[in-house]
Amino acid sequence: MSEFLPFVKPYIDEATIASVAETLRSGWITSGPKVLEFEKQLSEYFGGRPVRTFNSGTCTMEIALRIAGIGPGDEVITTPISWVATANVILEVGATPVFADIDPVTRNIDLDKVEAAITPRTRAIIPVYLAGLPVDMDRLYDIARRHNLRVVEDAAQAIGSTWQGKRIGAFGDFVSFSFQANKNLTTSEGGCLVLNNAEEARLAEKYRLQGVTRSGFDGIEVDVLGGKFNMTDIAAAIGLGQLPQLPAITARRRELAQHYFATLGADFEQQTGAQLPPRNFEISNWHMFQIVLPEGIIRADFMAQMKQRNIGCGVHYPPIHLFQLYRERGFKPGMFPLAERVGRSIVTLPLFPAMTHQDVERVCVAAREILKR
């Protein structure tokens, strides 16, 4: 039988591994010169905007909400199809999550439904760029301007994606990226937040490390309630090795996605009833290649049969509003039918730069065979 093919596999080259070893030997392994250099290079990548790094792409969104002054009594609109962290950060700051259903084609939040969900209590929108595909950025920021809302972009999966030739993160309001292990650029765990100005960056630094401001040799002051969210130099060393490779990583992912479409063929959807992702080759970084299974196909059965063929699949994501934590807050099945339909049937197929065209073809043959049965 063929070797097991996971749905994702991070690639860390030998030069990066050597730089991590060098960092470990340096004696400076927590936040230090590597973090500063990584932030500098990320800022250059995002067109000179201030960037601060963190130990996750979750706390980045929470800190953005805190900088924006969002808390109890405020509402924040987001999508039900995302990792649960997207909504959890809204609860963390004491605000109320408001979900808007998704567009069935892009699987991103439906901006028409976002506008319909705005109330006098709405303070912010958290759009999610599922699988790296941005929403209509012009429309998003038009809505935000007209209703005086902050935007915290959950771009966890979207580093390397673009909108009208501009990098996601190089424009807009707060933009949050994840560098978790399965992301296109990884630091093993970590993330960064792109900010608007130096004042926001200083406040992000305070929230990142217990609210502390240092001065001179021994001056320490604390004037906000912060946490422990700093990135280590070990993680930053990985990021510094990964960042120069990002254009090649993105290009390879797009090439593999194109091979998926070519191999599955124009008749795949008609013959199997499954739905392919939209073919947004130029703006998406193709973080994931996801299909939505036809009604009547039990996702767990499909995944089990793929595993029998030594092919791994992922689930990204179950609808957030149907988790117990959110049902206890009044959310119920049927409230967001498009998200529920996608959430129970979406499957992530293998896609990572080290894959070969033969790997893609193997996945396609298996998926078609299982679905046609």
Reported as type and span, the H/E element at residue 343 is: helix 337-345
Taking the C-alpha atoms of residue 84 and residue 109, their distance in angstroms, rounded to an integer, is: 15
- Long-range contacts for 96-102 (Cβ within 8 Å, ≥24 apart)? 96/121, 97/326, 98/122, 99/320, 99/321, 99/331, 99/335, 99/336, 99/339, 100/336, 101/336, 101/337, 101/338, 101/339, 102/336, 102/338, 102/339, 102/342
- 40: number of Cβ within 10 Å: 12
372 is catalytic: no
Choose, from 113, 183, 307, 372, the residue flagged as catalytic. Answer: 183
Residue identified by tokens 């605000």 is 95
Residue identified by tokens 């998003």 is 140
Taking the C-alpha atoms of residue 197 and residue 28, their distance in angstroms, rounded to an integer, is: 29
The verdict on whether omega for the bond into residue 207 sits within 30 degrees of 0, i.e. cis, is: no
Question: Residues with catalytic annotation?
Answer: 183
